Amino acid sequence: MDGHAISMLGTGLISDFYTNTLHGQRGRDRVRVVYSRSDARGQAFRERWDIPESTTELAAAIEHPETDVVVVALPNFLHEEAVGLAARAGKAVLCTKPLGRTAEEARRMLDMVESAGVFGGYLEDLCYTPKTLKAVKAVQDGAIGDVTWVRSRETHPGPHSAWFWDGRLTGGGAIIDLGCHCIEIVRNFVGKGNRPVEVLCHTDTLVHPIADEDNAIALIKFESGAIGQFEVSWTFRGGMDLRDEVAGTHGTIWMNHFLRTGFEMFTAGGGGGYVAEKAETSAGWLFPVGDEVSELGYVDMFSDMFRAIDEGRAPQETFYDGYVVNAVMDACYRSAKAGAWAPIEVDWRGGTTERIAATPERFDGQVVIKREILPDGRHKLILKDEASGDFSDRVVAGA
Amino acid sequence: MDGHAISMLGTGLISDFYTNTLHGQRGRDRVRVVYSRSDARGQAFRERWDIPESTTELAAAIEHPETDVVVVALPNFLHEEAVGLAARAGKAVLCTKPLGRTAEEARRMLDMVESAGVFGGYLEDLCYTPKTLKAVKAVQDGAIGDVTWVRSRETHPGPHSAWFWDGRLTGGGAIIDLGCHCIEIVRNFVGKGNRPVEVLCHTDTLVHPIADEDNAIALIKFESGAIGQFEVSWTFRGGMDLRDEVAGTHGTIWMNHFLRTGFEMFTAGGGGGYVAEKAETSAGWLFPVGDEVSELGYVDMFSDMFRAIDEGRAPQETFYDGYVVNAVMDACYRSAKAGAWAPIEVDWRGGTTERIAATPERFDGQVVIKREILPDGRHKLILKDEASGDFSDRVVAGA
Amino acid sequence: MDGHAISMLGTGLISDFYTNTLHGQRGRDRVRVVYSRSDARGQAFRERWDIPESTTELAAAIEHPETDVVVVALPNFLHEEAVGLAARAGKAVLCTKPLGRTAEEARRMLDMVESAGVFGGYLEDLCYTPKTLKAVKAVQDGAIGDVTWVRSRETHPGPHSAWFWDGRLTGGGAIIDLGCHCIEIVRNFVGKGNRPVEVLCHTDTLVHPIADEDNAIALIKFESGAIGQFEVSWTFRGGMDLRDEVAGTHGTIWMNHFLRTGFEMFTAGGGGGYVAEKAETSAGWLFPVGDEVSELGYVDMFSDMFRAIDEGRAPQETFYDGYVVNAVMDACYRSAKAGAWAPIEVDWRGGTTERIAATPERFDGQVVIKREILPDGRHKLILKDEASGDFSDRVVAGA
Amino acid sequence: MDGHAISMLGTGLISDFYTNTLHGQRGRDRVRVVYSRSDARGQAFRERWDIPESTTELAAAIEHPETDVVVVALPNFLHEEAVGLAARAGKAVLCTKPLGRTAEEARRMLDMVESAGVFGGYLEDLCYTPKTLKAVKAVQDGAIGDVTWVRSRETHPGPHSAWFWDGRLTGGGAIIDLGCHCIEIVRNFVGKGNRPVEVLCHTDTLVHPIADEDNAIALIKFESGAIGQFEVSWTFRGGMDLRDEVAGTHGTIWMNHFLRTGFEMFTAGGGGGYVAEKAETSAGWLFPVGDEVSELGYVDMFSDMFRAIDEGRAPQETFYDGYVVNAVMDACYRSAKAGAWAPIEVDWRGGTTERIAATPERFDGQVVIKREILPDGRHKLILKDEASGDFSDRVVAGA
């Protein structure tokens, strides 16, 4: 079966994860050429992953005659140039997160692929973890009723490369690095067509001697009334904490993607070696992850991207999604600065979403606020008289 | 050994928990008289817990000649009257949470016990859970460095008695019911002497047809720079979720007090009966708690209270603490209304606290932002040049 | 309220746990005198726990004129002498586990208390953990149907005192130290009246240079057909693993008493101090327990013992139970030696128990072996034709 | 890139899992033809998975001119015939577990592929779960020292197809169905070259009205002294419990492959649909798995198989391994019947393995049995005098 030939731009950790995924298992797509600013790193990467060519020329990599897909795995400040070259070359372009440093920059990239008519995929892996995909489907199937509140947390002791810490190159701190994941995870659960209206955000620099935030929390209010909450930190101790929680009117979903996935190891030391991304110790109790590229969503992400290209459809995560995420992050920074809610300025294409449904049960002419099982098996109803606003208890036989 | 004789005011769920604790195990303190507005409920309670007397006269219960301690387990709007009577009777008074409906009301109660010179204990059970007590001690011993962020969550499907839902009687919604716990838990972790300065709060009524909030989240900024975050909900599905998480510069603490405590049961149905407070189902996978009155802090709370009385010292949780909690909640409601940070107005007695320590490691004349273990065992340093603000990577041999 | 005055025999770790429990919270029972072979240890213990007297005379401690209860917390080889003296002194005697080194020794102790007509309590704490008490009640209430298989595991890196390792003083290795707990836990779940008939046991000395077993596993077959399985080890790495699992025809119970109870701490080091019994590290991820004396059953155990004395009834765990446990352990050693099932020789007082109920559902004249929900929502029945012994599938609409 | 064309034999649940894996993600291998005894099932399967052809002729499927690999996903009693035809056709043959109903049957199949010189892969998926692969590597790298005891448990409420329950067609009960997984998992952890010497097994039929065992437990003694323990059940309630635990002289590994993997959902009902293999309920607390075909090892299994074919090497799991597993199972049945240890009769090709290393620490001329951290930070040594066999305590300053 025919696969795709890829120009991989960048040789950092994320390029390793991407190529590990593409060349792993029985995949039919291959990296054909890799670009690095450093010839040595390019060579090393080439050998590490059995890639035919490496180059230090960005344009040469992108315009390589035998590739049809360009994967942008470069630092944030280099995305726009790379996307522009790829669009001009008429190739499908897949860009790592965040799309831009600002919504304005992301918007330009979106325009580039749209005006060139090329495929633009937003490489937001954490929206593709197997748990997330299954949970989103369960939510869409109605398993937890209407979504009321989505919490997404991504925290670790700080990124692994110097440029991540320099807001001039990235566009910000922990929000730009991690919040972008959370925002898009939240959007998948509340519905892509659910407009993010405004945000309330707090940023703080609690530990690291840097100019940008090393901790942040934000609330995103959606058109349906649902709240998206994200928490990001570069000061968490103990590894990488990736948890998502979805509350609905009829159910709850909890996902732990990293530190507690049913894999626990105690070692008195001596075995050495790699435990997991952002692990802090190599002795004592450790919590590895089975297959990181699968658990973190890389496998399903590339499958969706390449299938979308093959089928001529949009992928789950598009450049437009990346642009929306940037717009939300821009609003977060404005909100944090103002210490108040800030509107999200976005060119909305998503339609409208209805308010969270709330059709309470009725009993004996009153509204049932709650039904609780008592220790003796009977049911206790809390009733509200709508005329007086008074509340009363009513104990009835069990269902 | 001599114990205390108690006037128990109220016969609701909380009175059951309190009396279950006092009369449980080998305790030497006993409820001597119970007050209920309803004679029938008073009688039933008396028989349930083997108590000599019940009465429908509040003053008679409080002034009972053979009791020396009054426990106020009444709805919020009745606290002030009961505390006043107990203070006038010259008896030690222990009052359930929240102390008042507002800081002003709490302040009056504080003044009552202080001017009468009687013992005032604030029955904040969740600050006394065995996990919390041990964790607070670990934090005080320096196990996680300086505290940077404390998260406290209390969510369930809504309270069990009608009056809880009526803000006129309680002072508010989920914040008044649940947030009071979280705020005081946070204070124990950041330090009681760490002044809460301002809050950023969002409240929402997402599901229940009520006038007050059924969901809320708040950030409390403390003098040290630490952030306290609480999340409360009356719309959570799946039981009662009680989790606290403490982040420090050198460590992390996670506590789960209810739904995931190492006790899991699957039943195809048929056994019936009580599972746990706020449990939603009696079949399928259930998550009971071992000894609720111990796990939820009631046992250690009363031990501290009675020992404090015996030793002539203040308990861990005082009326002053209850007043501070009310002051923070007042600020939460103001912040939520304004959609912006609100200052906490409190008569502060707690002294001052220093800023979170941040003395970064240095390497080769630069600041070490981070040290990470690479898959090959080497260490990667992220360095910051303070003059230029530039960041760089440096890979060195492993420690 | 009047409590009991106790003669505490022994000053080791278990005496500390016992006295911590008795003198903890608001207990009304007190240790009046402590016995130690060493004057210095006795003095230190006395001061540590605020006890009026210590002595190096065993008889003097037991016959102390102001005590009415004797707690035997001595090494195994000293139990019989102490129990004999207590019985002669006409005092209630509570003896730590295991009761004897052999069933013969245990039987003599049982005879001593019975012929003297004194109260004999078997201090089997792990049958009294709050989780176990609640789980046993759930089983008795029918929550999981008929019990089919009970697994009890107790493993850690080995005991903390030298004498534990000397089979001449204890009666064996890990089975005598830990298996005694497991056997009695199993009995509580299958029912005390369910006769243990025979055992299949394997012992091994895999790591420690000792003469007795540092690992063992055994199956106990009960009259009802239920199987009790215990696993004990002195070579487990990572702390103390205490887990019990109960399988029934209609449900399942899983209990984790120690390493995973909803309390998790990561520390980069520096806090120092005690984490939990048998903890192996003081940095990295740690798993403390909230209140060890409560979680491990000591609190409920002593409550039951003293209430039983006060009420003139037998406690949950009696000397007879201790004797049965010793009889099972004797059979384990015989089985391990023979490499085959060994009968349990015990003077049975427990009556008879019926075979596990098995009344399978029927459908269309055949036996329903299983009913499974298919991905599409239909139900798939596995049917057995009793005449031919043939099995067939039948897919039917969902329930 | 060129992939393989497959003849898939069988259309049951396992064929669905296999084909889902092969046709999932970006795989380059495809099922070319599917065989079913039933034309209707073959057609349905063909459409479900987009397969060019189906047939009811076993030989036709196997000898299909365009396929090079045969996957045997048939009931146990049909394996031998299918393997024989594939070997004669000169094609690579991959056979599901267990290889045979007995070691004798497995041995004949092994001989068939070896004498025909074709590739024989044993489709033992659970040895390929990402957690298992990473854990085996950690063990091989020395992370937990020498392996002492491996526990593997697979339990669920019973298989989904009628033929599984008929021992005449399968070769036995839960051991044949589930124990085969556990045995091979154990072998991977103790080392494939570590000869299994003898087994002690107990089988029981506790609940289902069948002739074969619905519960079993076995101990496998290996040449190194390590013990492999497996527990299988067709009567577990609550879903499918897949747990493996590895104990070593310096560490511990715990893996949970199914019910507790960091994915938890509560639903009040209404969402419907498939939760996970062997799930028992569709409301209440549910525990789905992210990507079943990845988590259960199918993805890595087929990758290894096809790479091994491409590279001309043996796969991780070979027909020889399948034969060894059958030999161990045969011994289990003999042991269970005898109620005693039974030797494992196997034509051993694996070489020899040394005894578990035990070189205890020494202190002051004595053997250190144990080193424990006391609450006060000091270290307590348990020492053994090898001459007298006496043990003593020694408290020393902390490390």
Choice among A1-15, B87-101, D299-313 with the minimum mean pLDDT: A1-15
**Which residue is listed with tokens 């861990």?**
B316
- C100 Cβ under 8 Å from any chain D Cβ: no
Q: Which of residues 368-397 of B touch A (CB under 8 A)?
A: 369-370, 372-377, 380, 382-384, 386, 389-393
Nearest to B180 by CA among B315, B324, B342, B345: B324
pLDDT for A175: 98
Q: Which of B31, B131, B265, B275 to probe by mutation at the C interface, max C CB count within 10 Å? A: B265
The burial class, CB within 10 Å (0-12 / 13-18 / 19+), for A11 is buried
- D130 Cβ under 8 Å from any chain A Cβ: yes
| Pair A154, D287: CB distance under 8 Å | no
Task: Give the model confidence (pLDDT) of D304-318 as tens digits.
Answer: 999 999 999 999 999
> What mean pLDDT comes out for the span A40-53?
98
Using 50, 70 and 90 to split pLDDT, how confident is the model at B366?
very high
> What mean pLDDT comes out for the span D135-164?
95
pLDDT for A179: 98
| Pair C399, C379: CB distance under 8 Å | yes
CA distance B366 to chain D (A): 33
Residues of chain A neighbouring D27 (CB-CB closer than 8 A): 25-28
CA distance D238 to chain B (A): 6
Judge if pTM exceeds 0.90.
yes
- D279 Cβ under 8 Å from any chain A Cβ: no
- C52 Cβ under 8 Å from any chain B Cβ: no
Q: Which two tokens stand for residue A150?
A: 């989505």
CB atoms within 10 A of CB A151: 22
pLDDT tops 70 at residue A203: yes
- D173 Cβ under 8 Å from any chain C Cβ: no
Q: Which of residues 221-240 of C touch D (CB under 8 A)?
A: 225-227, 229, 233, 235-238
Taking an 8 Å cut-off on Cβ atoms, the answer to whether A377 and B273 are in contact is yes
Taking an 8 Å cut-off on Cβ atoms, the answer to whether D251 and A260 are in contact is no
pLDDT tops 60 at residue B59: yes
Task: Give the model confidence (pLDDT) of C261-285 as tens digits.
Answer: 999 999 987 655 566 777 777 789 9
Q: What is the DSSP string of D257-311?
A: -SS-SSEEEEE-S---S--STT---SSEEE---S-HHHHTTHHHHHHHHHHHHHH
**Which residue is listed with tokens 């706020």?**
B278
Q: Which two tokens stand for residue A152?
A: 């997404």
CA distance B360 to B164: 49
Give me the total of CB pairs closer than 8 Å, taking one residue from chain C and one from chain D. Answer: 184
| Pair C98, C325: CB distance under 8 Å | yes
- DSSP bridge pairs for B351: none
pLDDT for C26: 96
Nearest CA in chain D to A296: D290
> What mean pLDDT comes out for the span B350-367?
87
Residues of chain A neighbouring D265 (CB-CB closer than 8 A): 135, 138, 143-144, 251-254
Going by DSSP bridges, is the β-strand pair B379-384/B366-373 parallel, antiparallel, or unpaired? Answer: antiparallel
> Which subunits sit against C, judged by 3+ Cβ pairs under 8 A?
A, B, D
Q: Which two tokens stand for residue C90?
A: 């006409």
> What mean pLDDT comes out for the span D27-49?
97
Q: Which two tokens stand for residue B65?
A: 């000649």
The burial class, CB within 10 Å (0-12 / 13-18 / 19+), for B226 is buried
| Pair C142, B271: CB distance under 8 Å | yes
Neighbour-count burial for A114-127, b at 16+ CB within 10 Å, e otherwise: eebebbbbbbbbbb
| Pair D181, D126: CB distance under 8 Å | yes
Instruction: Report in angstroms the alpha-carbon separations of C226 from A267, B268, C207, C353, D337.
Output: 36, 19, 32, 11, 18
- DSSP bridge pairs for C219: C200, C229
Task: Give the model confidence (pLDDT) of C73-124 as tens digits.
Answer: 999 999 999 999 999 999 999 999 999 999 999 999 999 999 999 999 999 9
Task: Give the model confidence (pLDDT) of D168-215 as tens digits.
Answer: 999 999 999 999 999 999 999 999 999 999 999 999 999 998 999 999
Taking an 8 Å cut-off on Cβ atoms, the answer to whether D283 and B286 are in contact is no
| Pair C286, C280: CB distance under 8 Å | no
pLDDT tops 90 at residue C310: yes
Give me the total of CB pairs closer than 8 Å, taking one residue from chain A and one from chain B. Answer: 185
Using 50, 70 and 90 to split pLDDT, how confident is the model at D399?
low
Taking an 8 Å cut-off on Cβ atoms, the answer to whether D268 and B280 are in contact is yes
Task: Give the model confidence (pLDDT) of D368-389 as tens digits.
Answer: 988 877 767 788 898 999 899 8
pLDDT tops 70 at residue D1: no
Nearest to A391 by CA among D370, B165, D360: B165
pLDDT tops 90 at residue B108: yes
pLDDT tops 80 at residue A146: yes
CA distance C363 to C19: 60
- Look up residue A83 and give its DSSP letter: H
CA distance B60 to chain C (A): 24
Task: Give the model confidence (pLDDT) of C112-166 as tens digits.
Answer: 999 999 999 999 999 999 999 999 999 999 999 999 999 999 999 999 889 999 9
> Where are any strands of DSSP class E within D124-173?
147-155
CB atoms within 10 A of CB B219: 21
Q: What is the phi/psi pair of residue A13, to 5°?
A: -55, -40
> What mean pLDDT comes out for the span B302-321?
98
Please state at what angle helix B79-88 crosses helix B103-116, rounded to 10 degrees. Answer: 10
Contacts of D232 (CB under 8 A, 6+ apart): D153, D154, D155, D174, D175, D177, D178, D179, D182, D215, D216, D217
- C63 Cβ under 8 Å from any chain D Cβ: no
Q: What is the phi/psi pair of residue C79, to 5°?
A: -65, -45
Taking an 8 Å cut-off on Cβ atoms, the answer to whether A233 and B389 are in contact is no
CA distance B168 to C177: 60
- A281 Cβ under 8 Å from any chain C Cβ: yes
Strand order in the sheet with A366-373: A362-363, A366-373, A379-384, A391-396
Residues of chain B neighbouring C372 (CB-CB closer than 8 A): none
Nearest 10 degrees: CA dihedral of B303, B306, B310, B313? 90
Choice among A198-207, B227-236, C260-269 with the minimum mean pLDDT: C260-269
CA distance C124 to C122: 6
Task: Give the model confidence (pLDDT) of C327-339 as tens digits.
Answer: 999 999 999 999 9
> What mean pLDDT comes out for the span B206-222?
96
Task: Give the model confidence (pLDDT) of A255-266 as tens digits.
Answer: 999 999 999 999
> What mean pLDDT comes out for the span C212-218?
97
pLDDT tops 90 at residue C359: no
Nearest 10 degrees: CA dihedral of A36, A42, A48, A49? 60
- Shortest CB distance from D391 goes to which of C163, C200, C338? C163
Contacts of D356 (CB under 8 A, 6+ apart): C206, C207, D146, D147, D148, D224, D225, D226, D249
pLDDT for B378: 82
| Pair D124, D181: CB distance under 8 Å | yes
CA distance B371 to chain A (A): 8
Task: Give the model confidence (pLDDT) of D66-93 as tens digits.
Answer: 999 999 999 999 999 999 999 999 999 9
Residues in chain D: 399
Three-state SS for D181-225 is HHHHHHHHHHCCCCCEEEEEEEEECCCCCCCCCCEEEEEEEECCC
> What mean pLDDT comes out for the span C373-389?
84
| Pair B180, B203: CB distance under 8 Å | no
- B208 Cβ under 8 Å from any chain A Cβ: yes
CA distance B228 to B218: 8
C248: left (phi over 0), alpha (psi -120 to 50) or beta: beta
Q: What is the DSSP string of C14-63?
A: HHHHHHHHHTSTTB--EEEEEE-SSHHHHHHHHHHHT-SEEES-HHHHHT
Task: Give the model confidence (pLDDT) of B150-187 as tens digits.
Answer: 999 999 999 988 999 999 999 999 999 999 999 999 99
Q: Is the dihedral of CA A30, A33, A37, A42 positive or negative?
A: positive
Taking an 8 Å cut-off on Cβ atoms, the answer to whether B370 and A251 are in contact is no
Q: Percent of chain D beyond pLDDT 90?
A: 87
- Look up residue A318 and give its DSSP letter: B
The amino acid that residue B169 corresponds to is: L
Q: Which of residues 297-356 of A touch D (CB under 8 A)?
A: 299-300, 302-303, 306
pLDDT tops 90 at residue B271: no
Q: Which alpha helices (DSSP H) does A208-297 contain, by range?
A: 292-295
pLDDT tops 70 at residue C399: no
**Which residue is listed with tokens 């159910």?**
A251
A117: left (phi over 0), alpha (psi -120 to 50) or beta: left
Continuous segment of H or E residues that includes residue A86: helix A79-88
Taking an 8 Å cut-off on Cβ atoms, the answer to whether A233 and B247 are in contact is yes
CA distance C281 to chain A (A): 7
Residues of chain C neighbouring D389 (CB-CB closer than 8 A): 166, 211
pLDDT for B137: 96
> What mean pLDDT comes out for the span D118-145?
97
Nearest CA in chain D to B238: D266
Q: Percent of chain C beyond pLDDT 90?
A: 87
pLDDT for B233: 98
Q: Which of A25, A125, A264, A287 to probe by mutation at the D interface, max D CB count within 10 Å? A: A25
Residues in chain C: 399
Three-class DSSP category at B298: helix
Half-sphere exposure of B146 (CA within 13 A, CB side): 17
Residues of chain D neighbouring A260 (CB-CB closer than 8 A): 262
pLDDT for B359: 73
Contacts of C307 (CB under 8 A, 6+ apart): none
